[in-house]
Amino acid sequence: QAYGNDYVYIDAINQNLSNLNELAKFVSDHHFGIGSDGMVLICPSDKADFRMRMFNSEDGSEAEMCGNGIRCVRKVCLWQRFN
């Protein structure tokens, strides 16, 4: 949670996920899913240790950036790297 927004974070490094737009809408649904403002995937990267992909809760579209989301991804990635 960051500044009142909450996201579902998924480790997409060690698993293949499909239908990401539909998955984002499902997990974000407060009545039938987990409930969140969106879904954030932590993915492998060719340029860095990790890469973030963020999907909106309303329509499942992929966003270019999410400042609150990247703050939390950073924390998760640092924990992964040093533990």
pLDDT, tens digit (0-9, with 9 covering 90-100), for 4-61: 788 999 999 889 999 999 999 999 999 998 999 999 999 999 998 889 999 999 999 9
Which two tokens mark 51?
Answer: 């890469």
Output the DSSP codes for 5-56: B--EEEE-SSS----HHHHHHHHH-TTTS---SEEEEEE--SSSS-EEEEEE
Beta carbons of 29 and 37 less than 8 angstroms apart: no
Higher pLDDT, 77 or 28: 28
Q: Assign residue 38 a region: left if phi > 0, alpha if psi is -120 to 50, beta otherwise?
A: left
* pLDDT at res. 41: 96
Provide mean pLDDT across the span 65-77.
86
pTM: 0.86
40 closest CA partner among 74, 79, 7 = 7
